[in-house]
Structure 1
Amino acid sequence: MTLVQKPAPDFKADAVEGKNFKSVSLGDYKGKWLVMFFYPLDFTFVCPTEITAFSDRIDEFAKIGAEVVGCSVDSKYTHLAWINTARKEGGLGDIKYPLLADVNKKIASDYGVLIEGAGIALRGLFLINPEGKVAYQVVHDLGVGRSVDETLRVIKAFQQVAKTGEVCPANWTDGKKTMKADPTKSKEYFAAA
């Protein structure tokens, strides 16, 4: 099931940000790009590598007007315990964005990433645009983590399309040539390639 081009499913949930509990909703991010990613469980193996990788580069997301939220089916108390565990011991240490506690599994279900029998989420990543629509989604099986570089690249590409009205070809990166989405005008791009 794709959510691309559809309004992002609304959510409101308890979360941990820093070392504090708070309530977080989709509406908190209106007018901004949001990276919403799901991971299977706290205190596991691939998950802390992803969570800390996004946290370590949070300033790069802020610079392009994007925020990050992580989500699993664990409780806010489990999230806090994991944050209070040092990275060298498989914990998170300090992270710089909220982790949602989807204990009733509704958010994971609404985003189509819940593994029903196991009761955990696949590694889903959704880019929600400032208008609240899903612009991008990718879902991994459990054993492979996601790329922060690719996430940043895709947000920048969508921003470039919105800014110029041109489209971004395969492997486009910031500063590279875009193309006009027109049968005749696109030939300028192909001629220069």
Structure 2
Amino acid sequence: MLMIGKKAPEFKATALVGKDFKDVSLSDYKGKYVVLFFYPLDFTFVCPTEIIAFSDKAAEFEKLGAQVIGCSVDSKFSHLAWTEVPRDKGGIGEIKYPILADITKDIARSYGVLIEEAGIALRGVFIIDGNGVLKSATVNNNNVGRNIDEVLRTVQADQFAESHPGEVCPANWTPGASSMKADTKGSKEYFAKVAK
């Protein structure tokens, strides 16, 4: 089982980047946050909604110094074929981040999201900091799509906490909202400020 605060498993695989195939590894992004998300299969149903939503928010992640990377057990050729199908016909069109082809299933397995008997991944999303340390991990049932705005908010909160030692982000924290000091006095000050 992966542990928050520990090194994330290294990976290297061929990815579809634009319309090209390139080898991509976690270490390629040293110094940047990585949002690695797994989805079950190409040419399915919930998956394109998430892939497109991540692509639509890619620039916002990039502003935070975060690279989105998608991953499924499909081949690079399947990824390419899916991008060539228009969105209004069930395809995903142009995607603004790499999509890994985990045909060996090693990446999904190392991140603990592989359903062995089905040979597909669960909907896992892993936020990894610039030092390769796992900051956040969430896994959804395959019939429930993820909220990409929440993934973005979590990156923002992780980065805030990292740059403000001793402070924590309370529930529903967003940039500009009050944080609190991680001690009894700080907690009381926070609740006095936000109490209605």
What is the TM-score when the length of structure 2 is the normalising length? 0.97
Is residue 122–residue 139 contact of structure 1 (8 Å, CA) maintained in 2?
Answer: yes
Counterpart secondary structure, 1:23: strand
SS in 1 for 2:13: strand
Aligned residue type for 1:58: A
Aligned to 2:158: 158
1:117-161 alpha-carbon deviations (Å, 9 max, x no partner) = 000000000000111011000001110111111011011111111
* Counterparts of 1:185 and 1:33, CA distance in 2: 28
> Which residue does the alignment assign to 1:126?
126
Give the Cα separation in 2 of the matches to 1:118 and 1:185. Answer: 48
| Backbone CA RMSD of aligned residues | 0.8
How far did residue 186 of structure 1 move?
Answer: 2.1
User: Following TM superposition, by how much is the alpha carbon of 1:5 offset from its aligned partner in structure 2, in angstroms?
Assistant: 1.3
Q: CA deviation at 1:57?
A: 1.2
C-alpha distance in 2, partners of 1:162/1:125?
A: 20
CA distance in structure 1 between the aligned counterparts of 2:163 and 2:93, rounded to whole angstroms? 37
- Secondary structure of residue in 2 paired with 1:185: helix
Q: Are the aligned partners of 1:3 and 1:111 in contact in 2 as well (CA < 8 Å)?
A: no
- 1:14–1:100 CA contact under 8 A, matched in 2: yes
SS at match of 1:184: helix
Q: What residue identity is the alignment partner of 1:157?
A: A
Aligned to 2:112: 112
Does residue 1:43 correspond to 2:43, yes or no? Answer: yes
TM-score (norm 1): 0.98
Corresponding residue number in structure 1 for 2:80: 80
Alignment of 1:6-155 (within 5 A): 6-155=6-155
Q: Secondary structure at the match of 2:186?
A: coil
Superposed displacement of residue 6, structure 1: 1.4
Unaligned ranges ≥5, structure 1? none
State how far apart, in whole Å, the 1-side matches of 2:7 and 2:164 are.
Answer: 23
CA distance in 2, matches of 1:153, 1:90: 28
Question: Identity, % of aligned pairs?
Answer: 60
CA separation in 2, counterparts of 1:189 and 1:57?
Answer: 31
In the alignment, what sits opposite 1:171? Answer: 172
Q: Residue by residue, what CA displacement relative to the aligned partner does 1:30-81 show, whole Å, maximum 9, x if unpaired?
A: 1111000000000000000000101011110111111100000000000000
- Tell me, yes or no, if the aligned pair for 2:169 and 2:179 is still in contact at 8 Å: yes
Conservation of the 8 A alpha-carbon contact between 1:72 and 1:101: yes
Contact 2:2/2:8, CA 8 A, preserved across alignment? no
Secondary structure in 2 matching 1:186:
helix
Shift of 1:89: 0.9
SS at match of 1:94: coil
Which string of whole-angstrom CA distances, capped at 9 and with x for unpartnered residues, describes residues 15-40 of structure 1?
10100000000111111110000000
Which residue identity is paired with 2:68?
V
